[in-house]
Amino acid sequence: MGIFEKIKSLFGLHSDNTKNFKKIISQLESLIGSPINDYDVFLEAMTHQSVVSQNKGFKKSNQRLEFLGDAILGAIVAEYLFKHYPDLNEGDLTKFRVRLVDKNALYKTALNLNLQEILFYDRRFIKDSESGLKSILADAMEALIGAIYLDQGLLKVKKFIEEQIIDFIDYSIDSNYKGQLLERSHKLGKGNPVYELVKVSGPEHDKIFTVAVSIGDKKLAVGSGRNKKTAEQNAAKEALEILDKLF
């Protein structure tokens, strides 16, 4: 039985889950950069324990894949930080790693990938709780990483993690510079700061983003980083230092 026929047998011919699963599988294949070989492992990754106990058609939950994905995510993030930040000490590297692998980061990434549209779970399990949904989506993200590793191998899952998590999540230690600059700009009567991406350099696997920030009609500072959000934070930090000297 094919993967989509299996879903139809579990949820019915006109199930929204069937349509969404086809859509997300197509999106995942685009993100991964190659066709999926084993659809069953991705169905398992999107199956929460709560639905297994309620529907005998589901044989496995995503808990084992979650375990695998957690280990893979931690190792790949640690290697990335170690190679890209040679001057950071162990304490700062740990802070960066925690920000990239915690439930908040995984939840945001899962929402960005629309995993909530294809995750099979019993809605009674979360009782309309945002924290409950956050937990199962974060777990599903780890399970997805495990599935990509098993289906596509280490290089593909590494690329996926770097592009979909590391480049997406703002993991800077102090992420409040933009907020401080916004407040400062309003006090000066200049309105909202404007951020503009002015340059992207480096190879595909090691890009550097450069962002300029303007207040009013004046370009005040630039900042760089491994992703756009970090570059914006660094530009805001530099702008704050300039404003301190001017005022």
Q: What pLDDT sits at residue 6?
A: 54
Q: For residue range 133-168, what is the model confidence (pLDDT) as tens digits?
A: 899 999 999 999 999 999 999 999 999 999 999 988
**Cα separation of 190 and 182, whole Å?**
9
- Look at residue 9 and tell me whether its pLDDT is greater than 70: no
- Give the rounded distance of the alpha carbon of 52 from its chain centre: 26
- Tokens 């990335």 sit at which residue? 80
What tokens appear for 82 in the block?
């170690």
- pLDDT tens figures, 42-97: 889 988 888 787 766 677 899 999 999 999 999 999 999 999 888 778 887 898 99
What are the residue ranges spanned by the domains of the chain?
3-166, 177-246
Indicate the pTM of the whole model. 0.67
- Nearest-5° angle of CA 182, CA 186, CA 190? 105
Asked if residue 31 lies in contact with residue 37, where contact means CB atoms within 8 angstroms, the answer is: no
Domain 3-166 matches domain 177-246 at the CATH topology level: no
**What is the pLDDT confidence band of residue 5, given thresholds at 50, 70 and 90?**
low
Q: Which residue has the tokens 């026929």?
A: 5
> How many CB atoms neighbour CB 93 within 10 A?
15
* Cβ partners under 8 Å of residue 218, min gap 6: none
CA torsion through residues 20, 77, 173, 236, sign: negative
Of 70, 139, 151, 238, the active-site residue reads: 70
The CATH code of domain 3-166 reads: 1.10.1520.10
List the catalytic residue out of 139, 142, 151, 162.
142
Structural Rg of the chain based on CA atoms = 21
Residue 38 annotated among the catalytic residues of the structure: no
CB 232 within 8 A of CB 195: yes
The pair of three-digit structure tokens given for residue 87, joined into one six-digit string? 């001057």
When pLDDT is cut at 50, 70 and 90, the band that residue 189 belongs to is: confident
* Burial of 175 (C-beta count, 10 Å sphere; 0-12/13-18/19+): middle
Whether 70 sits among the annotated catalytic residues: the reply is yes
> 177-246: what fold?
Double Stranded RNA Binding Domain (3.30.160)
Find the range with the poorest average confidence among 6-15, 153-162, 198-207.
Answer: 6-15
